[in-house]
C-alpha cells in the first residue's frame, strides 16, 4: 500500500490529475483529459490517462464512483494524512497544542 | 495525396450531422422544448422518422438528425462513451454558465459543470436519449 502511494505520487502527470481534482471533485475521464490538455498542454492519450488513474486508484488516492451510466473520479486524501503524520514530530507531553 | 480545391467551386459544407437517440419522440421533446432547437424535417420512414432539428437562429443552417439507435452496435458504443464522459456532439452557446443554470433548473443532468479552458468554456450534459452533449462558449 505504501509502495503504491509513493509510486503514484512520483509522477508529475499524476500529481496534476490530483491538482485538478482538488479544484473540482467528481470528474469524468473526459474532463480529466481536457484539463491536462488545456491547463498543462499535455497531449496524453485517453489510454495513458486511464493508466495513470489506475495507479492513483491502486494507491487509494482516487476513488471511482459509478452513478447510473456515468463514472466519476473523486480525490481521497486519507492515505496522504498517514504519510504526513508518520514523520511529524509528536507533540511533547504538557505542551499546549 | 493531392490537395483539395478550396477556391470555392468544389468546397463541401457540413449540412447534416446526427446523434443516435434511444427514443425519437423523447428526443424531439428534449431537443426542442428543453434545448431550444426547432424541428425542420419530420418524414415517416418505415417504423422510424427522418427527424431533424435546426437552430432557430439559423433555420437553413446545419441540421441535426435525431437518428434511431436500434443497430446492435449503437448501445455498447454509447454506453462506453457516456461512462467516460465523452460527448457525442457539441453545440455553441453565448453563455455557458447561464445555459448551465437554465438547464439545471429544468432538471437537466450535467456530467461536467462549466469549465474554463483557454479560449472556450465547456460544459457537458445528458440528453436523456443516451448521449452526452457538450456546450461550448467561444471567448
Residue A59 falls inside a structural domain: yes
CATH number, domain containing residue A25: 1.10.10.10
What pLDDT is recorded for position B5?
A: 64
Flag whether pLDDT at A64 surpasses 80. yes
Total domains present in chain A: 1
Residue A8 falls inside a structural domain: yes
Are A31 and B124 within 8 A, CB to CB? yes
For residue B100, the SS3 value is helix
Residue A88 falls inside a structural domain: no
Other CB atoms within 10 Å distance of the CB of residue B61:
12
Q: What is the mean pLDDT of chain A?
A: 90
Are A35 and B115 within 8 A, CB to CB? yes
> Measured between CB atoms, does A14 come within 8 Å of chain B?
no
Distance CA B63, CA B53 (A): 6
What pLDDT is recorded for position B25?
A: 97
Nearest-Cα distance to chain B for A29, in Å, is 5
Q: Which percentage of chain A shows pLDDT scores above 90?
A: 72
Q: What is the mean pLDDT of chain B?
A: 95
Q: pLDDT tens, B60-76?
A: 999 999 999 999 999 99
Cell numbers linked to A12: 508529475
Nearest-Cα distance to chain B for A85, in Å, is 35
What pLDDT is recorded for position A92?
A: 66
Domain ranges of chain B: 16-138
Which CATH number describes the domain made up of B16-138? Answer: 3.10.180.10
Flag whether pLDDT at A91 surpasses 80. no
What pLDDT is recorded for position A31?
A: 97
A-chain CB neighbours of B22 within 8 Å are: none
Residue A30 falls inside a structural domain: yes
With cell 491536462, the residue in question is A36
> pLDDT band at residue A87, thresholds of 50, 70 and 90?
confident
With cell 457539441, the residue in question is B90
Are B115 and A69 within 8 A, CB to CB? no
For residue A55, give its domain range.
2-82
What pLDDT is recorded for position A39?
A: 77
Nearest-Cα distance to chain A for B83, in Å, is 4
ipTM summary value: 0.88
Distance CA B84, CA B112 (A): 11
pLDDT tens series, chain B, 139 aa: 677 666 667 899 999 999 999 999 999 999 999 999 999 999 999 999 999 999 999 999 999 999 999 999 999 999 999 999 999 999 999 999 999 999 999 999 999 999 998 899 999 999 999 999 999 999 8
Are B85 and A70 within 8 A, CB to CB? yes
Are B82 and A70 within 8 A, CB to CB? yes
| Beta-carbon contacts below 8 Å between A and B | 45
Amino acid at each position: 500500500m505504501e509502495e503504491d502511494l509513493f509510486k503514484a505520487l512520483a509522477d508529475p502527470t499524476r500529481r496534476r490529475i490530483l491538482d485538478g481534482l482538488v479544484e473540482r471533485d467528481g470528474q469524468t475521464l473526459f474532463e480529466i483529459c481536457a484539463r491536462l490538455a488545456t491547463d498543462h498542454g499535455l497531449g496524453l492519450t485517453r489510454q495513458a490517462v486511464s493508466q495513470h488513474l489506475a495507479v492513483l486508484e491502486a494507491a487509494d488516492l482516487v476513488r471511482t464512483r459509478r452513478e447510473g451510466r456515468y463514472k466519476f473520479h473523486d480525490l481521497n486524501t486519507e492515505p496522504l494524512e498517514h504519510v504526513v503524520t508518520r514523520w511529524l514530530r509528536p507533540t511533547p507531553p504538557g505542551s499546549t497544542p | 495525396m493531392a490537395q483539395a480545391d478550396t477556391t470555392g467551386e468544389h468546397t463541401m459544407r457540413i449540412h447534416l450531422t446526427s446523434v443516435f437517440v434511444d427514443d425519437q419522440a423523447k428526443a424531439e421533446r428534449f431537443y426542442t422544448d428543453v434545448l431550444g432547437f426547432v424541428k425542420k424535417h419530420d418524414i415517416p420512414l418505415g417504423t422510424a422518422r427522418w427527424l431533424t432539428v435546426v437552430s432557430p437562429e439559423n433555420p437553413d443552417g446545419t441540421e441535426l438528425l435525431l437518428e434511431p439507435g436500434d443497430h446492435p452496435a449503437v448501445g455498447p458504443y454509447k454506453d462506453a462513451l457516456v461512462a467516460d464522459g465523452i460527448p457525442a456532439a457539441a453545440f455553441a452557446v453565448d453563455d455557458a454558465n447561464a445555459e448551465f443554470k437554465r438547464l439545471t433548473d429544468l432538471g437537466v443532468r450535467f456530467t461536467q459543470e462549466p469549465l474554463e479552458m483557454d479560449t472556450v468554456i465547456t460544459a457537458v450534459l445528458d440528453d436523456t436519449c443516451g448521449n452526452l452533449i457538450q456546450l461550448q462558449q467561444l471567448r
